[in-house]
Structure 1
Amino acid sequence: MNNQKRKEILSRLRDENPNPTTELTFDSPFELLIAVMLSAQATDVSVNKATAKLYPIANTPESIWTLGVDGLKAYIRTIGLYNSKAENVIKTCRILIDQHGSQVPEDRAALEALPGVGRKTANVVLNTAFGWPTIAVDTHIFRVSNRTKFAMGKNVDQVEQKLIKVVPAEFKVDVHHWLILHGRYTCIARKPRCGSCIIEDLCEFDSKTE
């Protein structure tokens, strides 16, 4: 895999989807933050179903905090790990109210200091809510990056650092959306759909399927 191939791969993904974004439903940085927190080890579809009921009732730090842990659980109990997620969301709302004027901070350290928010969640919020050229590496991106040999690494941190190094600046804001969607719908885990893949001829996966 060389930089010329990488640029062609990203150019094709951009041509197919010029304005990619998350499949999580949100209307504010706060709604995005909560949705991403809820999406850990859960599908975007399941999160969207829950927030479709939650956000019309409570979609600010104050209103969700007022629900309390048990009140919030009633809306998110269909999502995996909802008990711990409810605890973290309520704690996060309190910190946003007390320390950040009820606003989501556009600051990595402040985001990662929130309960239940790690580097990946912070990257998603900084990228999708604020337009930072951050790259949030999830299981899809990790798989696609290694399988295609686009940016290989033994863990998500290594893949993130390699992507930051090899992805040209013009693609950095959108690359994690393209790779997530490619991994979710084409380069799937068990049997990648190589025959319908727009980058098959550039990919260096050794065991391509028909």
Structure 2
Amino acid sequence: MNKEKRIEIFSRLKAENPHPETELEYSNPFELLIAVLLSAQATDVSVNKATRKLYPVANTPETIRALGEEGLKQYIKTIGLFNSKAKNVIRLCEILLEQHGGEVPQTREALEALPGVGRKTANVVLNTAFGQPTIAVDTHIFRVSNRTKIAPGKNVDEVEQRLMRVVPKEFQLDAHHWLILHGRYVCVARKPKCGACIIEDLCEFKQKTSD
């Protein structure tokens, strides 16, 4: 795919949704960090249902640590892998308090040193909470990047590196959200909704649907 096509693709995505946002509910960087950690192999909907009950009770490293693992599990037990996530969240809160003054660090290295936080989670927090032009490649972004040929790659790291190279700078801050929302609602896994797609004529996917 050439540069002109990519510029037009992101121009259209921006025109349709000028200020895209995550569907996870949060009010500060710490709430976002916890929500993203909980969302691994779970839906944003399930995480939001849990955090709507958790955050009014505990939404700081101090208050969540005070719940303890068993207390936290009562709020997140409807989310997949809640046992390991509870353990990671409690330890993460301890590290934030011990090493970062209770604040969420703003560097990739410090974020990835936290329990349960990998590159994808760090990218989401850096981008959404701190306005850094990172792209967290999940299953939706991996699929859209390969299917459209915007940034094909064999694995998430390849796709991330290629996206960071080829997405025009003026679109890099919001590219993560545009691509994930496009993959979640239009360029879906089983049968993409090509007929309802605003970039269908630019997409290089060969098996387009008529819907």
Q: TM-score range by the shorter chain?
A: over 0.9
Q: Is residue 2:96 matched to residue 1:93? A: no
Alignment match, 2:40 = 40
2:203 counterpart residue number: 203
1:21 corresponds in structure 2 to 21
Superposition pairs of residues 1-210 of structure 1, within 5 angstroms: 1-210=1-210
Give a deviation string over 1:108-147, Cα, whole Å, max 9, x none.
1000000000000000000000000001000000000000
Structure 2, gaps ≥5 residues long: none
Q: Distance in 2 between matches of 1:183 and 1:83?
A: 29
Q: Which amino acid aligns with 1:70?
A: E
TM-score between both structures, scaled by the size of structure 1: 1.00
Number of residue pairs matched? 210
* Offset from partner CA, 1:168-195 (integer Å, 9 cap, x none): 1100000010000000000000000000
**What code does the residue aligned with 2:128 have?**
T
| Residue identity (%) | 75
Q: Distance in 2 between matches of 1:94 and 1:64?
A: 10
Distance in 1 (alpha carbons) for counterparts of 2:26 and 2:56: 11
TM-score, structure 2 normalization? 0.99
Letter in 2 for 1:116: G
CA distance in structure 1 between the aligned counterparts of 2:124 and 2:95, rounded to whole angstroms = 20
Query: Following the alignment from structure 2 to structure 1, what is the Cα–Cα distance between the partners of residues 81 and 18?
Result: 34
Unaligned runs of 5+ in 1: none
Q: Which amino acid aligns with 2:23?
A: E
> In the TM superposition, what is the alpha-carbon distance from 1:59 to its structure 2 partner?
0.1
1:130 and 1:121 map into 2 onto residues whose CA distance is 13
Letter in 2 for 1:127: N
Shift of 1:21: 1.0
CA distance in 1, matches of 2:29, 2:124: 11
Aligned AA for 1:179? L
